Structure 1
Amino acid sequence: MDISVVVAVRNEIKYIEKCIKSLYEQDFDGKYEVIVVDGMSDDGTYELLKKLQKKYKFTLLRNPKVNAAAGRNLGVKHAKGKLIAFIDGDAYASKDWFSSIKKAFERVDTDGVGGPDLLPDNISFKSKAIGLVMTSPLARGGRFNPSTQHTMIEEERFVDHIPTCNLCLKRKIFDSVGLFDESFVKGQDLELSYRIRKAGYKLFYSPSVKVVHYRKQTFRSFARQIYKWAKAKIAIIKKHDLHGITSHIYLWPAYGVIAFLLLFSICLLFNLMWFFSLLIFLGLLLYSFVILFESTRIAKKYKDKKIFLYSLILIPTIHLSYAYGVMVALM
């Protein structure tokens, strides 16, 4: 078996059929298997998968632990392939996904391969805006964010993290560093990537290894996603006792609160509340100008005026949701 594909899903009835169909319409002459692990879906996903299984003959497993990490681990344990690939249930693969993965492994000395998760064409403008705004360095943390998810990197490169919406690893990785940490509700792929890189293995990003990935459809669900990502990053820092510069960047909300309280105490002590108020005003004014500038840049880049208004809302939403997640995780 050349490739085993693991799809861990829960409540993806809207997208799962397109995902499965894309895996069986591959331009690939090698041997592969598809393993779908359902996390006790209650929206009809499992029933739909049972019907699809009759047509496509994939392996269907149930994950009583529900979370995605446990589902992927179950899939890995059943996998027979030399390479183990992962895709999300709300994504679908390009027709050359398998062949692009295999070619990348053949020409590059690497232990893992992945690529972009592109925006679909047939989505609401709100979902499109979320996807486009997440490509902004101001929204996602720029070079301090190791993930390639939601990015539009056009050149091949070695990276520190590739998300499981579009990832393929050699089997030996799991034999060496272990499986996904099931204590992580979110960010289990980021935590695995840290162990992979720490063990000296390499991850290679190629823009030719493409999947199409649906985004969140509401601001509320998007904010909740950012909040969970923030909590996961702090959990990784705690688990591995990290102290590098990137770890400190992740902690910026905590440092901001400390600086705020320290400045407030000093100004209160020396009767300088007018100065404190002035600094807060100037800080908010500067932040507003930065958001305005970046929103304008995004709108010009994608040639869409509506993106400007959405960016004005989404970028602060990302920052506030992330800050809240960090503070909750630290308390």
Structure 2
Amino acid sequence: MRNDPSSTRPQADRRDAPAVPAGSGVSFIMPVLNEVDYLQDAVASTLAQEVDGPIELVIALAPSDDGTTELAHRLAAQDDRITVVDNPAADNPVGLNLAIRASQYPTIVRVDAHSELSPGYTMRAIETLDRTRAANVGGTMHAEGRTPFQRAVAAAYNSKIGLGGGAYHGSGEESEAESAYLGVMRRAAIEEVGLFDETLRRGSDWEMNLRLRQAGYRVMFDPKLSVAYWPRESWIQLYRQFLATGRWRGELVRRYGFRNSTRYFAPPALVVLLGAAALVASLRVGGVVRGALAAVLSLVFVPVALYALVIAGFSAVQSAASMRQKLWSLAVVPTMHVAWGAGFIVGVVRGARDTIDTSRVSR
């Protein structure tokens, strides 16, 4: 269960997270579902982290049908620092909470099975936590790709064009943040606010960080922290991922309104604009509107044309990219924007309900 955000103290009452003695140990937590192609590298980069004290890795294993289950148990049998706990619900926040409760150390590092931690990541994060007395710190997500399609998605992730300029998708100065990518957390602080909200299948990290900030704790962005992320491998997986993510963001807007960043409203605005352009085009073709009215309504095509030029320009400036990657970029970026925006609108209107991200279920 989570605490009601309305019951937490206001942002103005600042608090330091509890200090943790050096050498107290670190718990890495990793929710996993159908990640046979990435799990071994993710585990290797995690266990290679140098930490002052003992470490453990708790894998919250959702029902998988691609060999992930067997691989996870094999890795655990080879290294006694790895523990596997079952996550039959297959929901990410449920798995995160199961892993946290099965772990023991006062600093918790969230790891994504689709990611790889850079050398020195954990030690740097702990130093930032100690120095700032924050409850959570995250860094940048550097997307990478193996195929032309995946590299096109990675380029979009790493650009403000693709995901709208969230701090963890780029670089910048160390600062307080509204959320943290993955996150290196103080156990005492996140247990105080109630861990992850299990009613939110997506966006639960943002929501927990909101509660941390409302409780007076700092959430920090440290650009020197870097995590390699491998995006979805196909167009349909990407579409499903962004549709579900957008719908859950719409649910968060239903719950928390404009405490969500205004940049989240750009994709649904694009969907509305494209819908208006399609309507005007049909009215003109059908002869329903003519003359001065048609000319005025046709102004809706101007921002659509500008958007198309921006996407074309983004594709063209990828000088080191192959032609296939550039062509995929023309499809990838609008897919991300339109799927997310459409999902957002449905989420605001109807709520997320039982929406799940099936992008890693059907492979």
Q: Which residue of 2 aligns with 1:101?
A: 125
How big is each residue's C-alpha offset from its partner over 1:210-245, in whole Å with a ceiling of 9 and x where there is no partner? Answer: 322211111221122111221111111112243677
> Match of 1:65, SS?
coil
User: 71, 86, 89: which is aligned to 1:48?
Assistant: 71
Q: How does 1:278-293 map to 2 (within 5 A)?
A: 278-293=298-313
Q: In the superposition, relative to structure 1, how do residues 243 and 168 fare at CA in structure 2: closer, same or farther (>3 Å)?
A: closer
Tell me how far apart the structure 2 counterparts of residues 107 and 243 of structure 1 sit (CA, whole Å). Answer: 27
User: 244, 250, 255: which is aligned to 1:239?
Assistant: 255
Tell me how far apart the structure 2 counterparts of residues 232 and 137 of structure 1 sit (CA, whole Å). Answer: 21
- Letter in structure 1 aligned against 2:328: Y
How big is each residue's C-alpha offset from its partner over 1:248-279, in whole Å with a ceiling of 9 and x where there is no partner? Answer: 72553576489779989x99699866336633
Tell me how far apart the structure 2 counterparts of residues 6 and 244 of structure 1 sit (CA, whole Å). Answer: 26
Q: In the superposition, relative to structure 1, how do residues 119 and 290 fare at CA in structure 2: closer, same or farther (>3 Å)?
A: closer
Correspondence 1:78 to 2:94: no
Q: In the superposition, relative to structure 1, how do residues 258 and 196 fare at CA in structure 2: closer, same or farther (>3 Å)?
A: farther
Q: State the aligned residue count.
A: 319
- Letter in structure 2 aligned against 1:116: T
How big is each residue's C-alpha offset from its partner over 1:155-194, in whole Å with a ceiling of 9 and x where there is no partner? Answer: 3222211132xx1111122233212122222222122222
Q: Which residue of 1 aligns with 2:29?
A: 6
Moved more, 268-277 or 215-224: 268-277
Correspondence 1:113 to 2:137: yes
Correspondence 1:252 to 2:279: no
Q: Which residue of 1 aligns with 2:330?
A: 312
How big is each residue's C-alpha offset from its partner over 1:276-329, in whole Å with a ceiling of 9 and x where there is no partner? Answer: 6633443432332232333334x25xx436354333222221221122212322
Q: In the superposition, relative to structure 1, how do residues 280 and 56 fare at CA in structure 2: closer, same or farther (>3 Å)?
A: same
Unmatched segments (≥5 aa) in structure 1: none
Correspondence 1:200 to 2:216: yes
Correspondence 1:16 to 2:43: no
Moved more, 126-135 or 20-29: 20-29
Q: How does 1:141-160 map to 2 (within 5 A)?
A: 141-142=164-165, 145=166, 148=168, 151-160=169-178
Correspondence 1:162 to 2:180: yes
Q: Which residue of 1 aligns with 2:86?
A: 62
Q: In the superposition, relative to structure 1, how do residues 284 and 206 fare at CA in structure 2: closer, same or farther (>3 Å)?
A: closer
**CA deviation after TM superposition for structure 1 residue 19, in Å:** 1.6
Q: In the superposition, relative to structure 1, how do residues 320 and 244 fare at CA in structure 2: closer, same or farther (>3 Å)?
A: closer
- Letter in structure 1 aligned against 2:83: T
> Are the aligned partners of 1:253 and 1:326 in contact in 2 as well (CA < 8 Å)?
no
Q: In the superposition, relative to structure 1, how do residues 30 and 262 fare at CA in structure 2: closer, same or farther (>3 Å)?
A: same
> Match of 1:209, SS?
strand
Q: Which residue of 2 aligns with 1:28?
A: 51
Q: Which residue of 2 aligns with 1:215?
A: 231
Question: Under a length normalisation based on structure 1, what TM-score does the superposition of the two structures give?
Answer: 0.84
- Letter in structure 2 aligned against 1:72: L
Tell me how far apart the structure 1 counterparts of residues 310 and 274 of structure 2 sit (CA, whole Å). Answer: 20
> Are the aligned partners of 2:273 and 2:300 in contact in 1 as well (CA < 8 Å)?
no
Q: Which has the higher contact order (CA 8 A, sep 6+)?
A: 2
**CA deviation after TM superposition for structure 1 residue 131, in Å:** 0.9
Identity %: 23
Tell me how far apart the structure 1 counterparts of residues 307 and 192 of structure 2 sit (CA, whole Å). Answer: 45
Q: In the superposition, relative to structure 1, how do residues 91 and 244 fare at CA in structure 2: closer, same or farther (>3 Å)?
A: closer
Tell me how far apart the structure 2 counterparts of residues 162 and 127 of structure 1 sit (CA, whole Å). Answer: 24
**CA deviation after TM superposition for structure 1 residue 73, in Å:** 0.6
Q: What RMSD, in angstroms, separates the aligned Cα atoms of the two structures? A: 3.0
Correspondence 1:321 to 2:339: yes
> Are the aligned partners of 1:127 and 1:218 in contact in 2 as well (CA < 8 Å)?
yes
- Letter in structure 1 aligned against 2:103: A
**CA deviation after TM superposition for structure 1 residue 28, in Å:** 2.6
Q: Which residue of 2 aligns with 1:191?
A: 207
Q: How does 1:131-146 map to 2 (within 5 A)?
A: 131-142=154-165, 145=166
Tell me how far apart the structure 1 counterparts of residues 314 and 304 of structure 2 sit (CA, whole Å). Answer: 15
> Match of 2:56, SS?
strand
Unmatched segments (≥5 aa) in structure 2: 1-23, 351-363
> Match of 2:258, SS?
coil
- Letter in structure 2 aligned against 1:40: P
